[in-house]
């Protein structure tokens, strides 16, 4: 009887262990990749209504923009107000949504290399990140910071990245840059900057537009140099209809690299319905989840 009871107890323990392991594995699989959208791209730049819209779209998270730049000394950032910060955080908790990143898209058109007060601009971004518990910032080097067309700007850009790196390190955040360089050149750029707080915010569209092998670019950069990914292509068709982007192969590549993190849907809107925010982004988020989750 004792032996039978022992074996029964052992079997039950094994069953519970297997069940717990399966549950943990399922949770790990779900958490490895999360899918987000961008408030700017869903036409809700720095509007709290972006949060319920992102949830309606089906996203797990939201990338928030720092606001316009223009000729201002810093971003037009409504989130610098603690009251608005609290409202955003409360709404995100209510909707069970995360803020995956804070974007400085003002640098798409402005010169990170030449604008005065760049350090203040990035410092303001980091302050907002800390207040809202956001760990990644998006910094596009943009048209004026294109290091392929303007290689002479490289020393200035490296110098400025070295200036902002200690601020990011101290705050425990990462500044993810988007460049026009290929992966090998980006590795060299990061080595020149010399800080783990400056990484690459990878954009699928960049290598695709230049005819480079997207998956090979990911492998060259490696998991520790990629902080986040804009996981879409230029507008025209939804991701599921994109013939030059093999998302299953991309997932297999990222799996083998051991990378995990946020996949942020940026574009890939259907050309026949460019203003259908809910339709375009819901379709792309659902497709990304079908592949990655």
Q: Please list the pLDDT of the chain residue by residue as tens digits (293 residues).
A: 544 544 455 444 444 454 544 444 444 445 799 999 999 999 999 999 999 999 999 999 999 999 999 999 999 999 999 999 999 999 999 999 999 999 999 999 999 999 999 999 999 999 999 999 999 999 999 999 999 999 999 999 999 999 999 999 999 999 999 999 999 999 999 999 999 999 999 999 999 999 999 999 999 999 999 999 999 999 999 999 999 999 999 999 999 999 999 999 999 999 999 999 999 999 999 999 999 99
Query: Of the candidates 224, 185, 187, 221, which has an alpha carbon nearest to the alpha carbon of residue 204?
Result: 221
Contact between residue 95 and residue 55 where contact means Cβ atoms under 8 Å apart? yes
- Distances in whole angstroms, Cα of residue 204 to Cα of each of 161, 224, 245: 23, 17, 8
Specify the pLDDT at position 30.
54
Q: Is 62 a member of any domain?
A: yes
Domain holding 151, by residue range, is: 31-292
Residue 21 lies in a domain: no
pLDDT at 25: 47
In a domain, 6, yes or no: no
CA–CA distance, 262 with 256 (Å, rounded to integer): 17
Q: What is the pTM of this model?
A: 0.89
171 in Cβ contact with 147 (< 8 Å): no
* Domain contains 218: yes
**Contact (CB, 8 A) for 284 and 54:** no
Tell whether 250 is covered by a domain: yes
Domain annotation covers residue 254: yes
Residue pair 171/137 in contact by the 8 Å Cβ criterion: no
Q: What CATH number is given to the structural domain containing 120?
A: 3.20.20.150
pLDDT at 11: 47
**Per DSSP, which regions of 22-157 are E strands?**
33-38, 61-65, 98-103, 136-140
In a domain, 63, yes or no: yes
Judge whether 11 lies within some domain: no
- Angle subtended by helix axes 183-193 and 154-171, to nearest 10: 60
Residue 131 in 3-state DSSP? helix
Domains identified in the chain, total number: 1
Closest CA to 179 of 156, 211, 157: 157
Residues paired with 198 in a beta bridge? 175
């Amino acid at each position: 009887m004792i032996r039978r009871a022992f074996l029964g107890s052992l079997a039950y323990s094994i069953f519970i262990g297997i069940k717990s392991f399966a549950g943990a594995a399922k949770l790990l699989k779900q958490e490895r990749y999360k899918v987000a959208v961008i408030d700017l791209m869903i036409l809700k730049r720095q509007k709290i209504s972006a949060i319920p819209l992102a949830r309606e779209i089906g996203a797990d998270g939201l990338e928030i923009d720092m606001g316009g730049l223009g000729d201002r000394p810093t971003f037009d950032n409504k989130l610098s107000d603690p009251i608005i910060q609290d409202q955003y955080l409360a709404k995100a908790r209510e909707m069970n949504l995360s803020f995956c990143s804070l974007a400085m898209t003002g640098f798409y058109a402005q010169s990170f290399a030449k604008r005065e007060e760049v350090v203040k601009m990035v410092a303001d971004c980091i302050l907002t990140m800390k207040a809202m518990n956001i760990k990644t910032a998006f910094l596009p080097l943009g048209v004026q910071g294109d290091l392929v067309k303007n290689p002479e700007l490289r020393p200035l850009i490296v110098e400025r990245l070295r200036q902002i790196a200690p601020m990011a390190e101290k705050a425990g955040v990462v500044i993810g840059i988007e460049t026009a360089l290929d992966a090998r050149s980006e590795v060299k750029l990061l080595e020149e900057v010399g800080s783990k707080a400056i990484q690459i915010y990878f954009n699928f569209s960049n290598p695709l537009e230049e005819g480079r092998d997207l998956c090979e670019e990911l492998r060259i950069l490696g998991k520790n140099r990629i902080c986040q990914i804009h996981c879409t292509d230029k507008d025209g068709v939804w991701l599921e209809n994109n013939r030059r982007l093999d998302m299953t192969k991309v997932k297999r590549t990222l799996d083998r690299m051991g990378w995990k993190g946020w996949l942020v849907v940026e574009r890939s809107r259907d050309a026949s319905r460019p203003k259908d925010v809910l339709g375009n982004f819901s379709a792309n988020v659902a497709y990304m989840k079908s592949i990655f989750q």
